[in-house]
Amino acid sequence: MGTVTIGVSIAVPEPHGSLLQERRAGFGDAAAHGIPTHVTLLPPTEVDAAELPAIEAHLSEVAAVGRPFPMGLRGTGSFRPLSPVIFVQVVQGAEACNRLQKQVRDVSGPVARDLQFPYHPHVTVAHGIDEAAMDRAFRELADFVAEWPCTGFALYEQGGDDVWRKLREFTFGGSVVPPQVGHVERGTIASR
C-alpha cells in the first residue's frame, strides 16, 4: 500500500477559514489554496498506509474523552528568524490544543513522534514568502479576531498534488460549550 503523509488539525470554521485562506493567497503564499486553514495538532507525518485504521481508532479514542472548548484568535505573531512564518495567534484554547496534541502523539500510540520545534498553537497566514509580503501579512492581520466553540478535530492526507484533504472528522464526547458574552460571530479585521 505504500506510505502516505497525514496531519491532524482543528479546522478554522467558516467564514473565518476562507477569509484567512484568501488573505494568505493574497500575500503571495502559493500553498494557500492547498492547505485548509487550521491549528495543527500533528504536523505532516509520513506513515504506512496500512496503519490508517489504527491511527483512526487512536484518534477516535482521543476524541471520545475530549470535551468542547472555546477557541479564540487575535492578532499576529511570527516565528522569524527561526522559521519564515507569520501567524494569527491562538489566545483562547491554547492549553486545550496543547493537551490534545500530546494525546494525539502519545508515545504508546500509532503516531508517536518528536517535534522539530516546541508546540505553539497558531494559524499560519504566510509561509516562506518574501520579507516585504511577510511584513504586510503581519501588519494587515494584526487586528484579526475570531472565536468559536471547538467541538473536535480532523485527520487529513496530503495528496500527490500537495493538496490536503480531510479523511475523517472526530467529534468530542462532551457537550458543546455555549458562546461567551461578546462572542465574535465572524472573523474581522478592524481598520486603523
Reported as a single tens digit per residue, the pLDDT across 54-109 is 999 999 999 999 999 999 999 999 999 889 999 999 999 999 999 999 999 998 88
User: What pLDDT was estimated at residue 116?
Assistant: 86
Give the pLDDT of residue 186.
39
Which among 93-102, 109-118, 179-188 has the top mean pLDDT? 93-102
Confidence (pLDDT) at 117:
86
* pLDDT surpasses 60 at 159: yes
Distance CA 113, CA 105 (A): 6
Q: What is the pTM of this model?
A: 0.88
30 band by pLDDT with thresholds 50, 70 and 90 = very high
Residue with more model confidence, 137 or 188: 137
* Span 23-50, average pLDDT: 96
More confident residue, 121 or 81: 121
**pLDDT band at residue 174, thresholds of 50, 70 and 90?**
low
Query: CB count, 10 Å around CB of 164?
Result: 19
Tell me the three-class secondary structure of the chain, residue by residue.
CCEEEEEEEEECCCCHHHHHHHHHHHCCCCCHHHCCCEEEEEEEEEEEHHHHHHHHHHHHHHHHHCCCEEEEEEEEEECCCCCCEEEEEEEECHHHHHHHHHHHCCCCCCCCCCCCCCCCCEEEEEECCCHHHHHHHHHHCCCEEEEEEECEEEEEEECCCCCEEEEEEEECCCCCCCCCCCCCCCCEECCC
CATH for 3-172 (3.40.190.10, 3.10.450.50, 3.90.1140.10, 3.40.50.300): 3.90.1140.10
Average pLDDT over residues 140-154: 97
